[in-house]
Structure 1
Amino acid sequence: MCELLAMSANTPTDLCFSFTGLTRRGGDTGPHKDGWGVAFYEGKGVRAFHDSDASANSRIAEVVQTHPIKSEVAVCHIRQANVGEICLANTHPFMRELWGRYWVFAHNGQISGFRPGQGFYEPVGSTDSESLFCDILNHLRVHCNRDTPTEEIIERLVTLSQAYAREGVFNLLLSNGDWLFTYCSTKMASITRRAPFGPARLKDADVIVDFESETTPDDVVSVIVTEPLTTDETWDVYRPGEWRLWRKGEVIMKGPAGPG
């Protein structure tokens, strides 16, 4: 399986600490060596990096770890291939435009034999993940518009996610730059850091950061992952079927396990 990482913050924040921990799992402390990618929203724009090599050995990943790109929403993925060859076209996160915004998607899991219905969006690569993303956007494009209330869009995303999860494993990160939608099929956890801030130590690298020296008292930064990245913090573990909608570091909507 792959691993996911996302951030939602109320102020532009860099992801260097968490990204450093995640990249070690891409071919060093973990088996997810079949490519990686990260997308940072900057206003309505997106700064994205992808590599089909293992993140633990990637010079591009090293640049991202050491260059503090600040964003309010970021989506990351390290891949352990199960559907589709190892190549750049199959590397998450995937991105498409809808209603004048870039939508970014990353998926952990597998739905064998999934084929999207015909529509405006088509996959470029050969992964079930990208096909699922196209299916989601085609559904929204047909049934919603740019003025559709967020609540209605999220209701449709929850319904789609529950349907996909009945067919296989579907852990999801999806953002349009304004909000971040997360759905847990099997495994996901989050942590929200706010004042008073303290230090934290990574599980996968000998790195400690003192968040108090890196933040202001008003900062709220939430990190969502497949597996907790630190050893000395308490992470909030999702239940299977649970979803949460994040904006500016806070959960603004959430739902319990679905009916299955």
Structure 2
Amino acid sequence: MCELFGLSSNLPATASLSLSRLAQHGGPPTSIRDGWGVAYYESNDVRLIIDAGSADDSDWLRFVGQHELRSDLVMAHIRKATMGAPTYRNAQPFVRELAGRTHSFAHNGCLPGILEATTLQSRRFSPVGETDSELAFCGLLERLAAIWTTPDNIPLLEERLEMVSTFAAEIREMGPANFLYSDGDALFAHGDRRKNAATGKVTAPGLVYLQHHCSPAGAGISGDGLTVTGADQNISIVASVPLTAEPWQAFTEGEVIAFRAGRIEGRRGIDAARKN
């Protein structure tokens, strides 16, 4: 099955990812052979590394591990193909330019009715590949284009969160719709449902998150397949399943959370009134 990973911090952090190990948290190793990708934000642009091959034997991943890239916003995806062949153009995260900024999107789930969804059709954005995920991303950007006008005019977070939440409510009617979306300023995460590796049933939670404060001495986050380092800063991590022994919090089914600079800045959903 697909796996998602997102990181938000108030200062650049080093996130060392073993995607092959991350994939095994959510299912058997065979689920990591249809492509993968990592996007590291650099201001309003991204350093994007994607591949259509296996995540357990990749020179590109070895390159990523050797260079210890730093970023305050990271998004990663491990693909299990359901719609569209395992090709480079179908690897995620997907990226597009809007208002002089690079926007990124990664999705876990299956949206069989999206081709007939007239409310998600886009005139301005077209998919490069054949996935339902990329079609959904194009539909989301079509809506966001109404509030993104110039690179220097970042729309209010509440306005963006409302649009992302409305979009999430529509696509989850088509099927499991866990996704990460970022405009370079904030990371938006929607937790829905996912297939449980133990039971085979599709249930909530679709995503979990962890909030952590790194001490001035630089004590970070360490787990099986994940190491995050950064001194004296706030870090929030979103993933498909818990990656460390720390107490991760589950998304309520249908909940959307907006992270910025390592903190929760807003949320929408059934349990949105709970404390951040």
In which range does the TM-score fall when normalised by the shorter chain? 0.7 to 0.9
- Listed as ranges, the matches of 1:23-102 within 5 Å are 29=29, 31-102=31-102
- Listed as ranges, the matches of 1:110-189 within 5 Å are 110-115=110-115, 116-142=120-146, 145-146=149-150, 147=153, 148-186=155-193, 187-189=206-208
What is the DSSP-based 3-state SS (H/G/I as helix, E as strand, rest coil) of the residue aligned with 2:64? Answer: helix
TM-score for the superposition, normalised by structure 2: 0.83
Which residue type is aligned with residue 163 of structure 1? E
CA distance 1:201–1:140, shift in 2 (3 Å): closer
Which residue type is aligned with residue 201 of structure 1? G
Match of 1:191 in 2: 210
TM-align CA RMSD: 2.3
Q: CA deviation at 1:198?
A: 6.4
Distance between the aligned counterparts of 2:66 and 2:28, measured in 1? 18
On the 8 A contact 1:26/1:54 being kept in 2, the answer is no
Q: CA deviation at 1:67?
A: 1.7
On the 8 A contact 2:20/2:55 being kept in 1, the answer is no
CA distance 1:107–1:181, shift in 2 (3 Å): same
Which residue type is aligned with residue 255 of structure 1? R
Which residue type is aligned with residue 172 of structure 1? F
TM-score for the superposition, normalised by structure 1: 0.87
Distance between the aligned counterparts of 1:222 and 1:142, measured in 2? 29
Match of 1:106 in 2: 106
Q: Deviations over 1:137-166 (max 9, x none)?
A: 112224664444231121011011111101
Q: CA deviation at 1:215?
A: 3.4
On the 8 A contact 2:208/2:251 being kept in 1, the answer is yes
On the 8 A contact 1:25/1:32 being kept in 2, the answer is no
Distance between the aligned counterparts of 2:263 and 2:169, measured in 1? 23
Q: CA deviation at 1:249?
A: 0.5
Match of 2:266 in 1: 253
Q: CA deviation at 1:18?
A: 6.4
Q: Deviations over 1:194-240 (max 9, x none)?
A: 145466331xx5x8x6x7xx432x2111111001112x211111111
Detail structure 1 runs of 4+ shifted over 3 Å in the superposition: 17-21, 23-30, 142-148, 195-201
- Judge which range, 109-118 or 191-200, deviates more: 191-200
Q: Deviations over 1:79-133 (max 9, x none)?
A: 0000001100000000001111100100000101412414110000000000000
Residue 225 of structure 2 corresponds to residue 200 of structure 1 = no
CA distance 1:195–1:43, shift in 2 (3 Å): closer
Match of 1:240 in 2: 253
Which residue type is aligned with residue 194 of structure 1? H
On the 8 A contact 1:200/1:233 being kept in 2, the answer is no
Distance between the aligned counterparts of 1:142 and 1:44, measured in 2? 19
On the 8 A contact 1:27/1:55 being kept in 2, the answer is no
Q: In structure 1, list runs of 5 or more residues that go unmatched.
A: none
Distance between the aligned counterparts of 2:81 and 2:210, measured in 1? 27
On the 8 A contact 1:3/1:78 being kept in 2, the answer is yes
On the 8 A contact 1:171/1:184 being kept in 2, the answer is yes
Q: In structure 2, list runs of 5 or more residues that go unmatched.
A: 194-205, 272-276
Q: CA deviation at 1:15?
A: 1.2
Distance between the aligned counterparts of 2:177 and 2:26, measured in 1? 20
CA distance 1:200–1:140, shift in 2 (3 Å): closer
Identical pairs, percent: 32
Aligned length: 249
Which residue type is aligned with residue 254 of structure 2? G
